[in-house]
Amino acid sequence: MSDDQVPRPRGGERDISLLRPYLLTAGRAQPVDGTLEIEAQVLTSRLGAASQSRLTFERREIVSLCRETKSVAEVAAMLGLHIGVARVLVADLAALGYVVLRRPTGALTQDLGMIERVIRGLEAIR
């Protein structure tokens, strides 16, 4: 069979990359906590550390990564996840008690210096 006769999957990698976020979040675009900020700090709880081996791959990675406090945005960047997917997964883990969230105060979202520092930090992760 020549190379031009080898069957190729339709859609290729693009279809797979579009399907993956859908599968990770069970088709949900919004987290169970719709107010979860991308700058919220995430820390693994004792329950999360004890349950880590029983979690699915991405959730296990988040629990492992957040043994040291990370923001939701950092979790997304470090694991190569879309920010919306990270919000859904982190919110699920928080609802189950596997991670603890430290939420920013309202004044932080208006702090342009903080926003610029977050952007520079995320760019540095690349």
Residues in the chain: 126
Residue 18 lies in a domain: no
Residue 4 lies in a domain: no
Residue 5 lies in a domain: no
Tell me what pLDDT residue 24 has: 59
Contact 42, 62 (CB under 8 A): yes
pLDDT tens sequence across 34-88: 678 889 999 999 999 999 999 988 899 999 999 999 999 999 999 888 888 889 8
The number of folded domains in the chain is 1
pLDDT tens sequence across 78-110: 988 888 888 989 999 999 999 999 987 765 556
Range of the domain at 103: 23-124
Tell me the residue type at 93: L
Tell me what pLDDT residue 56 has: 87
Angstrom distance (rounded) from CA 29 to CA 31: 7
* CB atoms inside a 10 Å sphere around CB 33: 17
Q: Is the pLDDT of residue 120 over 80?
A: no
- Rounded to 5 degrees, what are φ and ψ at 64? -65, -45
